[in-house]
Amino acid sequence: MRSSTTIKQYMKDAWPILIVLNLSILGCLGIGLKFYTPPVRVPIVLLLVCCFTLFINFSAFVLFLTERILPKEQEFGKIIKRFRRGDSRMQNYVLPLDYVDENYEIRGRCMTYNPIGGDFYNFLKDKEGNYWMGIGDTSGHGYVAGLFSLMIMNQMSHLIHKFETPHEIIDQMLEHLEERTNTYPHIHRSLYATFLLMKADEKGNFYHSGIHPSLVLYKSKEDKTYVVSTDGKFLSTVMNSPLKKPKLSQSFKMDRDDILFCFTDGLFEQKNRSIGGYYGENLYKFLETAPKKNIRKLIDDLFFDVVKHTGGRIQDDMSLMVIRKF
């Protein structure tokens, strides 16, 4: 952030404190001069007072920069307001709208650290009626990470009509990324994404591939949650070991009223600065105990709980995709 923007924000947010602070100094000065008997000349006293005033105002500005002058409730209120009105360009213009048919209910939510972020999710159907769902997290923040994510989403939308398994599509994405990087050498090879690609049929048979945080599967009949591990490759030209053997797509089954939770690492790595604890354990407890009849409300409640945990200061993009089997 530029210095001028920071100062404007400081004046906008802290002006009541500045007025009280400087009026208090002027009041003390007036009272002091009224009863002052000069062992030191008045101009020197005024110079010392000016220096003291500058020091106090500079200290207040430093406290503002370290986020100590504004109450946590104010910062929390700002992020909640942004969350409720959906102020996220990735969410509004790029990511797919919620989808419901006779077989599945698929809903997603993303909150980015910047208006354009590296988190993304995607879901669509192929010509044979199979459901394809992907969720990923590109390294970094801002428009570069957002463009990398858009490239992956575009490739996914194209390749699901040409290949049958998730691991084949990820291999094709890696080939495309290598070709593009060779064509445009200025693309940073350090840029990468974790990406999970899933394919499901009408009966609830899922196949998946890709390196990504584990999934949480709620089994309705057992009223119990299970962790589903993932394995595969990074979407990167440098992070996959050449000695690693190819991994075929893994599988699991969803039955009627089962719910699958897919999330990026930003969701459970959000940190509370006061107590120094990550949200991680709370996420799994929340998914186990939260009412699951209304998925949209569940997602809203979860994001509210995460933002509350951080005191309104999220440190990374966070995304959640929830799938219910009918």
pLDDT, tens digit (0-9, with 9 covering 90-100), for 162-205: 999 999 999 999 999 999 999 998 888 889 999 999 999 999 99
The total of structural domains in the chain comes to 2
Q: Are residues 13 and 124 in the same domain?
A: no
22 lies in the same domain as 143: no
User: Is residue 198 located within the same domain as residue 302?
Assistant: yes
Q: Which residues of 117-127 are buried (b: 16+ CB within 10 A; e: fewer)?
A: bbbbbbbbeee
On whether both 211 and 299 belong to a single domain, the answer is yes
In this structure, the answer to whether residues 169 and 77 fall within a common structural domain is no
Does residue 28 sit in the same domain as residue 55?
yes
Residue 30's pLDDT is what? 73
324 contact partners, CB below 8 Å, separation of at least 6: 104, 105, 106, 257, 258, 259, 260, 295
Q: Are residues 8 and 145 in the same domain?
A: no
Q: What is the pTM of this model?
A: 0.75
Range of the domain at 309: 91-325
Mean pLDDT computed over every residue of the chain: 85
- Cβ count near 247 (within 10 Å): 15
At 23-70, the pLDDT tens digits run: 887 777 777 666 666 666 767 767 777 887 787 777 777 766 655 445
| 172 & 191 share domain | yes
171-182 exposure pattern, b = at least 16 Cβ within 10 A, e = fewer: bebbebbeeebe
Same domain (yes/no): 63, 185? no
* 292 shares its domain with 199: yes
Within this chain, do residues 132 and 193 fall inside the same structural domain, yes or no? yes
Pull the structure tokens for residue 127.
């010509």
The whole-number pLDDT of residue 53 equals: 79
Last residue of a domain, one of 52, 84, 116: 84
Give the residue from 35, 60, 84 where a domain finishes.
84
